[in-house]
Structure 1
Amino acid sequence: MIESTIAALGPWSWFVLGLLLLGLEILAPGTIFLWFGLSALVVGVVALLFDFAWQVDVGLFLVLSLVSLLIGRRLMQKLASEKGDPGLNQRGSRYVGREFTLAAPLNEGAGNLSIDDTIWRITGPDMPAGTKVRVEAIDGARLVVSRVS
């Protein structure tokens, strides 16, 4: 039954396969099926233009899939390394090196610092309110601060 449907569709079966693979890409994580789907669509165009045997079409599909997969992976890695926020999952890392003024004193090496709309726990030497501090590092969920000279 499947063979008769593929034979009846002829070159259009490659377009159906390509669209199915592209649809599967939406459901599956990663970008694996994208490259296979695009290869199937290219083979569909070639099959419409040239009357090759089905074995040539399958071979062309395999070669195009492999080449597009390798090139696509390399391209996706390059794009992933150029974009993004390296401190996305470490919010405190965005504040390292920045200077702030203490609204409340730092007693016994611990206190709080209001940054934007968040109150952070901080550690550092004892300092009175109004002292300018610089965030030096992150220690878990605490910011490590020092006095600005």
Structure 2
Amino acid sequence: MLHDAVVNLGPWSWWILGVVLLCAELAAPGVFLIWIGAAAIVIGALSLALWDAAFWSWHVQLLLFAVLSGAFALAGRRFYASRNQATDEPNLNRRGESLVGRTATLHEPIAEGRGRIRLDDTWWSVMGPDLPAGTQVKVVAASGRDLRVEAA
């Protein structure tokens, strides 16, 4: 049945596959299916011109589709990777890193390298040298959910 549909549709089967993949990209965004869909449309365009050529078998079409899909995906990845732009808010959505340089008072003493501070409305686990509660500390680094502090 599928074979008959592809034979009856001819080169348009690639166009249909390309449009289906592009629509799937809209339904499940991830900027990946767009490149495979573009490869299918290119194969469809080549098929319109080469459909009756002896060398244009389904084997050649599938091989070229696989190669173009990989090439387009790599080119798209390189294109999007080069679009990282400088921003005036480099620590946006990196809350721990945005706290580096701030000072706070130890709520719980740092014992065996661990303690707690309160910054704004959040309690943070801190790591650093042993210090008593009430000591002013400065955040010098962020590592996941923990902040590294030293005496201010």
Unaligned segments of structure 1, at least 5 residues = none
Percent identical among aligned pairs is: 30
- The structure-2 alpha-carbon separation of the partners of 1:12 and 1:136, relative to structure 1 and needing over 3 Å to count, comes to same
Q: Determine helix, strand or coil for the equivalent of 2:5.
A: helix
Unaligned runs of 5+ in 2: none
Of 64, 69, 80, which residue of structure 1 is paired with 2:73? 69
CA shift at 1:91, angstroms? 4.6
TM-score computed with the length of structure 2 as normaliser: 0.60
Quick one: which of 143, 147, 150 aligns to 1:146?
Answer: 150
Residue 99 in 1 paired to residue 123 in 2?
A: no
User: Which is helix-richer, 1 or 2?
Assistant: 1
Residues 66, 53 of structure 1: alpha-carbon distance in 2 compared, 3 angstrom cutoff: farther
What does the per-residue CA deviation read over 1:91-134, in whole Å, with 9 as the maximum and x for residues that have no partner? 534323x12242x66646565422122112335423646x4x31
Q: For 1:40 and 1:108, how far apart are their aligned partners in 2?
A: 61
TM-score scaled by length of structure 1: 0.61
RMSD over aligned Cα, in angstroms? 4.0
Task: Work out the CA distance in 2 between the residues paired with 1:139 and 1:28.
Answer: 30
Equivalence for 1:126: 132
Q: Match of 2:138, SS?
A: strand
Question: What SS class does the counterpart of residue 146 from structure 1 fall into?
Answer: strand
* Distance in 1 separating the partners of 2:123 and 2:96: 11
- Corresponding position of 1:53: 52
